[in-house]
Amino acid sequence: MHVAWTVKHKPTSLSEIVGNSDAIKQLAEWVKSWQKITPKKRAAFLYGPPGIGKTITVEALAKDCGMEFVEKNASDYRTEEAINRFAGLASQYGSLFGGQRIILLDELDGITGTSDKGGVKAITEITKKAQCPVVLIANNAYDPRFTNLRSYCLLIEFKKPPVGEVTKRLKSICEKEGIQADENALKFIAQRSQGDVRSAMNDLQALAQGKVILTYEDVSWLGHRDRQDSIFNVLRMIVYGKTCASAKQAVNMADVDVDMLFEWIYENVPAHLTHPRDLAAAMDALSIADVYRGRIRSTQDWGFMRYVIDCMTAGVAMARRETKAYGWIPFKFPTRIQALSRSKAERALQRSIGMKIKRRCHISAVRATREYLPYLRIIFKNDSKMAAGLARWLDLDQEMVEYLAGSEEKASAILGPVG
């Protein structure tokens, strides 16, 4: 059974948290101040981008201090009654065993919608009377709804950690997993995550799990992308979607185009829909989507795109009927795209040779690459003398000759007499 590395390698103490040392120190000092006297600010409000360690910091702090840790997602308790039933009572009484308690209300952003009925007001009242540390977490503490709440809280900003610290964390994980990782590969993943440690760990697991060695070439093909939302979250919304609407919405959240998203879905569906009937239905939906993609290419009628999106998202989501979830299954990068990306340099070199042949033989570069290149490779690998003459006639450089000959040694034998 696969275990998410974000869970398997979750920090268990503050010393293992990546970055934000000043913010962590400020939070720890505030919590420890409760042992002497109730501080003026009875709640700490942590804010900053997702995936940078806000929640795990509170959990690790509670463990380091031997405190009872009580956590709830605030977005699940939107009404005043629900907030008071949970956090109100918990904040007024100590631990069952006489120790100190810390309460965490995570994802406050989730209670700022129209369904919020007094939730923020209830939290504000709790922060005024709490008898134990209360920690609130949101991505944006300066949402207008939190204006009054902020005045009763110690505001602590968490920032994106430096690339070097994220890289160091990834290296530590690789060592624990027995993976020999290229430093540049880990740095690339860290840079690409843009400070989101959780996302970097997910990317590392998808790229490195099952490998003994992780090279820069294993990751560089991904290229840089703007992270509107993690592709893993998008895939999860589609493959495990409960409704057609939510599955289709994932397309708007994806940071890849529709064709690339299709490749991601095609690659991962077999691992996540294991019941034969479910898999058959999902692949049937994808095949229909692919038919419409072909019609778009041949007719340039982009009106077919809505059918592509419907089939590859809602069609796949609704295929899940009999498949049971067993543990955590990782999402994999599309092998077809990976193979194409890795061969990009080779294809560019082939086109360059094709252009050389085109100028001499007066045919198209495409035809030259397709029909003439295979014969040239045979000649360059087996007849150095003839290859030398062709290299001069076509004006091939050393890189081209090495490619056609198949080795640097054979290329030297061909080009030797010329030098």
- What is the reported pLDDT for 195? 81
Write out the two tokens for 16.
């293992």
Q: Transcribe 253-296 into DSSP letters.
A: H-SS-HHHHHHHHHHHHHHH--SHHHHHHHHHHHHHHHHHHHHH
| Amino acid, single-letter form, for residue 45 | F
39/140 same-domain check = yes
Write out the two tokens for 183.
């430093």
114/45 same-domain check = yes
Tokens 């080779």 belong to 346
CA–CA–CA angle 9, 10, 12 (5° rounding): 115
Residue 332 has pLDDT above 90, yes or no: no
Q: How confident is the model at residue 288 (pLDDT cuts 50, 70, 90)?
A: very high
Residue 50 has pLDDT above 60, yes or no: yes
Q: Which of 95-104, 206-215, 337-346 has the lowest mean pLDDT?
A: 337-346
Distance, CA of 285 to CA of 49 (rounded, Å): 36
- What is the reported pLDDT for 221? 64
- What is the reported pLDDT for 314? 92
Q: What is the mean pLDDT of residues 216-237?
A: 68
- What is the reported pLDDT for 228? 43
128/26 same-domain check = yes
- What is the reported pLDDT for 277? 92
Q: Is residue 277 part of a domain?
A: yes
- What is the reported pLDDT for 326? 63
Inter-CA distances, 109 with 48, 119, 124, 136, 354, Å: 12, 11, 14, 10, 57
- What is the reported pLDDT for 227? 45
Question: What domain count does the chain have?
Answer: 4
Residue 386 lies in domain: 344-415
29/148 same-domain check = yes
Q: Is residue 6 part of a domain?
A: no
186/240 same-domain check = no
Residue 289 has pLDDT above 90, yes or no: yes
- What is the reported pLDDT for 82? 61
Q: Is residue 226 part of a domain?
A: no
Q: How confident is the model at residue 337 (pLDDT cuts 50, 70, 90)?
A: low
**Best CA proximity match to 227, nearest among 267, 191, 255, 266:** 255
316/363 same-domain check = no
53/125 same-domain check = yes
242/137 same-domain check = no
Q: Is residue 9 part of a domain?
A: no
144/40 same-domain check = yes
pLDDT in tens, 125-146: 888 888 888 898 888 888 888 8
With beta carbons less than 8 A apart as the criterion, state whether 311 and 265 touch. Answer: no
Mean pLDDT of the chain: 81
176/242 same-domain check = no
Q: Which of 108, 135, 157 is the last residue of a domain?
A: 157
149/24 same-domain check = yes
Q: Is residue 10 part of a domain?
A: no
Distance of CA 294 to the CA centre of its chain: 29
Q: How confident is the model at residue 311 (pLDDT cuts 50, 70, 90)?
A: very high
CA–CA–CA angle 128, 129, 133 (5° rounding): 90
Q: Transcribe 372-402 into DSSP letters.
A: IHHHHHHHHHH-HHHHHHHHHHHT--HHHHH
